[in-house]
Structure 1
């Protein structure tokens, strides 16, 4: 491990992809140490002086790991510019876990979350079409924490960048659908990957279930078809890189 490094694994993505469920499952694992809050948001912090990052402030989010694998889960890291590069600078030995979800349903879930929070006021159909122009006025250019419904679903592009920074053996790619269907099998993969001992059988759970309210949109066949066509080339790249298929 690099000198001064406490954290040795990060659940780096994707938003609305089951990262909260995985973090909660790992919180029940006695052989794993986690951050005191799920999303630390250190490596996407644009107020940090990245020429001299304050890793002590990062480590303050963690209790003593006592030799156990120590990690956090901030799903914006795989999407936000320079976050992965900053993680590499912190530790080239970092292990990265990426939970993927069908990008169409991820986008829909993301929009529902932002609308329920009041951050979004426009209908889904507009947001995934004309609304993407809002990212041209954002900083950093082309990225937005709330309105990136479509952009966060370009997994092939994001995984290509990740594999350009870290060896593939340091990256575990999982599917949110598999975590939901068989959490025990997914957790066994995670334990083996981070070097944790066998833990207790997981209790199935639903976390961050979408708020029940009147939304001004439904996920239409037209919207699904539009997004499938938009993602087609990137999904082919994802299959080539990872074997994951959401076409």
Structure 2
């Protein structure tokens, strides 16, 4: 059953902790359509990952993200980068050791390419070619640290075995559900039903349409980069604004500005040689992951171009 705190602010009972560009936006939207579930309006619940928010305390985070939730609802949260941070996973466990943790994973080759175009869209990626970004990844992380460059860690964020292993070791098998993006695409209602059952909730046939978070690009990359600079956690201007304006207001303005600067986009096909190189690089990691989660991942990196476009 979902653990509940006796404190005024209800604990997070279910948390989607990763991974980026794997369908988590769609999944949290589907789950939130259950009449007994309430989630955050913001794209990500950043409390466990953000040092400043964590220091503010959960009561303030609850007021920011969940104060619209009725008392009888279960609290569901999502942040696609939590599983990559041992500290964030440990904070989640300290917050609620009985939290039901959900992980979505995608073919890491496809995930990396999708993440590159997403980073271009939000102004985090300044290089124009995927191959340039791959070549720069390790130096960027070495110079700036993963926290500063996590949006652009295209290969590193696809090495799932270690972070998934830490989540399983921290929460135990009975509190962790691992799905692939292919499972969510092919049987979304069944995936949702399994999450509800895992949380001890009544069955509810949720609406699983339409698909969320479709591919887009920035109309103006200069404007996108300016917004990315403004939203950087280390930006003193952002910190000053957060002291004088409500966090929810700032997040809503940010979403509106980003949405106004976006347009639909069909990604170009990945360079075949780049694909072959990544397939080989990820292969041993995928094999270790397959044994860890007891899922057949042999189809990864074998999808055709038409299949690739089913996930943004």
Determine the C-alpha separation between the residues in 2 that align with 1:245 and 1:147. Answer: 28
Residue 125 in structure 1 maps to residue 176 in structure 2 = no
Partner of 1:135: 141
Determine the C-alpha separation between the residues in 1 that align with 2:40 and 2:99. Answer: 15
Identify which of structures 1 and 2 has the higher relative contact order when contacts are C-alpha pairs closer than 8 Å and 6+ apart. Answer: 1
Partner of 1:144: 149
Please report the TM-score for the alignment, with normalisation by the length of structure 2.
Answer: 0.72
Determine the C-alpha separation between the residues in 1 that align with 2:57 and 2:23. Answer: 29
- Which 10-residue stretch deviates more, 164-173 or 22-31? 22-31
Q: Is the 8 A contact 2:47 2:58 kept in 1?
A: no
Determine the C-alpha separation between the residues in 2 that align with 1:29 and 1:174. Answer: 19
Pairing of 1:16-95 with structure 2 (within 5 A): 16-48=21-53, 54-60=57-63, 61-62=65-66, 63-95=68-100
Q: Is the 8 A contact 1:16 1:110 kept in 2?
A: yes
1:98-119 per-residue CA deviation (whole Å, 9 max, x = no partner) reads 0111111111110011112232
Q: Secondary structure at the match of 1:71?
A: strand
5+ residue gaps, structure 1:
none
Residues 65 and 98 of structure 1: is their aligned pair in 2 closer, same or farther, counting only changes over 3 Å? Answer: farther
Partner of 1:165: 170
Residues 214 and 94 of structure 1: is their aligned pair in 2 closer, same or farther, counting only changes over 3 Å? Answer: closer
Determine the C-alpha separation between the residues in 2 that align with 1:118 and 1:64. Answer: 32
Determine the C-alpha separation between the residues in 2 that align with 1:83 and 1:131. Answer: 23
Q: Is the 8 A contact 2:47 2:54 kept in 1?
A: no
Q: Is the 8 A contact 1:6 1:70 kept in 2?
A: yes
Q: Secondary structure at the match of 1:144?
A: helix
- Which 10-residue stretch deviates more, 5-14 or 196-205? 196-205
Determine the C-alpha separation between the residues in 2 that align with 1:203 and 1:46. Answer: 34
Shift of 1:205: 1.7
Residue 200 in structure 1 maps to residue 205 in structure 2 = yes
Q: How many residues align?
A: 243
Pairing of 1:175-186 with structure 2 (within 5 A): 175-186=180-191
The one of 10, 14, 25 aligned to 1:9 = 14
Q: Is the 8 A contact 1:235 1:245 kept in 2?
A: no
**Structure with larger Rg:** 2
Shift of 1:139: 3.4
Shift of 1:45: 0.4
- Which 10-residue stretch deviates more, 117-126 or 95-104? 117-126
Q: Is the 8 A contact 2:45 2:78 kept in 1?
A: yes
Q: Secondary structure at the match of 1:195?
A: coil
5+ residue gaps, structure 2:
217-263, 299-312
Q: Which structure has the highest helix share of the two?
A: 2
1:51-83 per-residue CA deviation (whole Å, 9 max, x = no partner) reads xx6110222111345343321111110113411
Determine the C-alpha separation between the residues in 1 that align with 2:49 and 2:145. Answer: 12
